[in-house]
Amino acid sequence: MIIVRDAGFHFGRFYDAAMQIKTGHYSFFQTNYGFQQSGRVINALYGPLFAYFNGALLLLCNNWFTYQVVSIYLLCLVAAGSMLLLLHYSGVKKVISVLISLIYLNIGLIPAFINASSFGGWGQALMPLVLLNGWRMVKDPKKPINWLWLGSTMGLLLQVHLLSALLACLLLAPFFLLALIKRQKVWKDFFKAVALATVLGSNTLLALLWLSATNQLASPDAYNLAVSGLKLVSQQAQLGNSYGQILPVFALLIAIFFLGNLLLKQKGPAEMLLLAWSMVLLLIASNYFPWGYVQKQLPFLATNFQFPFRLVTIIYPMLLLSVALTVQKVLTKKNLPIFAAVLAALLFLLARPVYQTNQLRTQKLSQKKLLQTKLARQGLDPLLSVLNYGGQADYLPVVKKGPDIGKAYRKQIASRWQSFGHQVLPGGKQQLSWTSKGGKVILPLVAYQQSQVVLNGKTVKKLTRKSGGFPVVEAKKGKNTAVLTFVIPLWGQVVIWGCWLSWLLLASFFLIKSLTLARNHVIFMFIKRQKTVGV
- Give the range of the structural domain holding residue 145, as residue numbers without chain letter: 63-358
Which pLDDT does position 385 carry in this prediction?
57
**Together in a domain, 325 and 460:** no
**Together in a domain, 67 and 103:** yes
Q: pLDDT exceeding 70 applies to what percent of the chain?
A: 79
pLDDT tens digit string along 344-359? 566 565 555 555 554 4
For residues 113-150, one letter each, b for 16 or more C-beta atoms within 10 angstroms of the residue's C-beta and e for the rest, the string is: bbbbbbbbbbbbbbbbbbbbbbbbbbbeeeebbbbeeb
Q: Could you tell me which residues come within 8 angstroms of residue 17 by beta carbon, excluding any fewer than 6 positions away?
A: 43, 51, 52, 54, 55, 56, 58
CATH code for the domain in which residue 475 is found: 2.60.40
Query: Residues for the chain: how many in total?
Result: 535
Q: Is residue 393 part of a domain?
A: no
Q: Is residue 318 part of a domain?
A: yes
Q: Could you tell me which residues come within 8 angstroms of residue 385 by beta carbon, excluding any fewer than 6 positions away?
A: 374
Q: Is residue 154 part of a domain?
A: yes
Which pLDDT does position 363 carry in this prediction?
46
Which pLDDT does position 366 carry in this prediction?
46
Q: Do residues 397 and 465 lie in contact, with contact meaning Cβ atoms separated by under 8 Å?
A: yes
pLDDT value at 364 more than 50: no
pLDDT tens digit string along 233-256? 544 444 334 566 666 656 666 776
Q: Give the residue, 484 or 342, on which the prediction is more confident.
A: 484
Which pLDDT does position 184 carry in this prediction?
64
| Distance, CA of 123 to CA of 469 (rounded, Å) | 31
**Together in a domain, 316 and 294:** yes
pLDDT value at 27 more than 90: yes
Residue that finishes a domain, picked among 486, 501, 517: 486
**Together in a domain, 135 and 177:** yes
Q: Is residue 132 part of a domain?
A: yes
**pLDDT band (50, 70, 90) for residue 80:** very high
pLDDT value at 333 more than 70: no
Q: Is residue 369 part of a domain?
A: no
Q: pLDDT exceeding 90 applies to what percent of the chain?
A: 50
Q: Do residues 99 and 145 lie in contact, with contact meaning Cβ atoms separated by under 8 Å?
A: no
**Together in a domain, 466 and 521:** no
The pLDDT mean for the chain works out to 84
184 to 177, 178, 526: CA distances (angstroms): 10, 10, 43
Q: What is the pTM of this model?
A: 0.88
Q: Could you tell me which residues come within 8 angstroms of residue 113 by beta carbon, excluding any fewer than 6 positions away?
A: 72, 75, 119, 120, 121, 122
pLDDT value at 316 more than 70: yes
Which pLDDT does position 348 carry in this prediction?
62
Which pLDDT does position 334 carry in this prediction?
64
| Beta-ladder partners of 311 | none
| Distance, CA of 325 to CA of 327 (rounded, Å) | 6
Average pLDDT rounded to a whole number, residues 202-230? 90
**Together in a domain, 159 and 249:** yes
**Together in a domain, 505 and 472:** no
| Distance, CA of 217 to CA of 197 (rounded, Å) | 25
Q: Give the residue, 171 or 375, on which the prediction is more confident.
A: 171
pLDDT value at 207 more than 60: yes
Which residue from 205, 201, 202 is spatially nearest to 154, judged by alpha carbons?
Answer: 201
89 burial type by CB count under 10 A (0-12 exposed, 13-18 middle, 19+ buried): middle
Which residue from 210, 115, 195, 112 is spatially nearest to 161, judged by alpha carbons?
Answer: 112
Q: Could you tell me which residues come within 8 angstroms of residue 371 by beta carbon, excluding any fewer than 6 positions away?
A: 3, 365, 383, 386
Which pLDDT does position 93 carry in this prediction?
85
**Together in a domain, 186 and 262:** yes
One-letter amino acid of 398: V
Q: Give the residue, 403 or 33, on which the prediction is more confident.
A: 33
**Together in a domain, 339 and 275:** yes
Helices (H), 140-247: 147-160, 162-182, 187-200, 202-214
| Distance, CA of 117 to CA of 111 (rounded, Å) | 9
**Together in a domain, 323 and 434:** no
| Distance, CA of 134 to CA of 168 (rounded, Å) | 10
| Beta-ladder partners of 434 | 480
Q: Give the residue, 221 or 44, on which the prediction is more confident.
A: 44
Q: Is residue 397 part of a domain?
A: no
Which pLDDT does position 405 carry in this prediction?
86
Which pLDDT does position 379 carry in this prediction?
62
Q: Could you tell me which residues come within 8 angstroms of residue 135 by beta carbon, excluding any fewer than 6 positions away?
A: 86, 89, 90, 175, 270, 274, 321
Q: Is residue 381 part of a domain?
A: no
Residue that finishes a domain, picked among 299, 329, 358: 358
Q: Is residue 35 part of a domain?
A: no
**pLDDT band (50, 70, 90) for residue 523:** confident
Which pLDDT does position 368 carry in this prediction?
53
Which pLDDT does position 375 carry in this prediction?
56
Mode of pairing for the β-strands spanning 421-425 and 451-455 = unpaired
Which pLDDT does position 115 carry in this prediction?
82
**Together in a domain, 353 and 427:** no
**Together in a domain, 282 and 429:** no
Residue that finishes a domain, picked among 486, 508, 523: 486
Mode of pairing for the β-strands spanning 429-442 and 470-486 = antiparallel
Average pLDDT rounded to a whole number, residues 157-181? 94
Looking at the 3D structure of the chain, how many domains does it have? Answer: 3
One-letter amino acid of 307: F
DSSP class of 523: H
Q: Give the residue, 216 or 363, on which the prediction is more confident.
A: 216
